[in-house]
A and B are shown apart, each in its own frame.
Chain A
Amino acid sequence: MANTQAMCTSFKVDLFNAVHAFNGTGVPAHTVATADTFKAALYLASATINAATTVYSATGEVSGSGYTAGGVTVTFGTAPSSTSTTAFITPSASIVYTSVTLSTAFDCVFIYNSTQSNKAVSVHTFGSQTITAGTFTLTMPTNDSTNALLRLA
């Protein structure tokens, strides 16, 4: 046997579950076994949403008939998991904006935690789109260590 330096895979899964708190300042207290609510907002192609984004903002968000500022709730019905050394999680249902008209091109969906002060989770970009009296559906990838929407590898 030999020792091998690594970040433990279980710790990666724990990160998704907010198990560890290295500093008590600004750390939410998850004292109950209840999942937070996550939401997905769409942003115009002209907006600036990126890794430096820390919280949800309506600045640059799409607007139009049928679309509610802040976006829609994202369903994480499957618990974070791991395979080999990669922890991962994917929404368990498609993200759907039904009966909307979004006339200005958008190319980004921003996922954030609406329970924890709208703090940022991830940004996903794609080719610019518009919707006219229709539905925009974001189908999720397979929830595994190579395809999941969010991965800690």
Chain B
Amino acid sequence: MALVNTIHGEMDVSLLEKREGSLDNETETTTWVEYWLDGELVHRSVNMALKRSVIGTPVAASLA
């Protein structure tokens, strides 16, 4: 019996409707999983891989 944490406490996943999705763009690769009970969202987790770095560009100015 697999359990998942929900807003109602731990529940057997066999009692829930599972929905999954993903997104892949220039910013991130994201996957999510949701569990629903009678039309109510009771669990949603997200795993996101960030793609964009934060880049600083130091400059040594010319003296000429």
Contact = CB atoms under 8 A, between A and B. Distances in A.
Interface residues of B, number: 32
A124 B52 contact: yes
Contacts of B58: 7, 11-12, 15, 152
A141 interface: yes
Contact of B54 (A11, A127, A131, A149): A149
A116 interface: no
Interface string B45-63: 1111111111111111010
Nearest to B25: A127
Given A139-B50, A149-B53, A132 B27 contact: no
Interface of A: 5-7, 11-12, 15, 88, 99, 101, 122-127, 129-141, 147-153
14 contacts: A127-B23, A132-B7, A132-B44, A133-B5, A134-B44, A134-B46, A136-B45, A138-B49, A139-B47, A149-B50, A149-B53, A152-B58, A153-B55, A153-B56
Interface of B: 5-7, 23, 25, 27-28, 30, 32-34, 41-60, 62
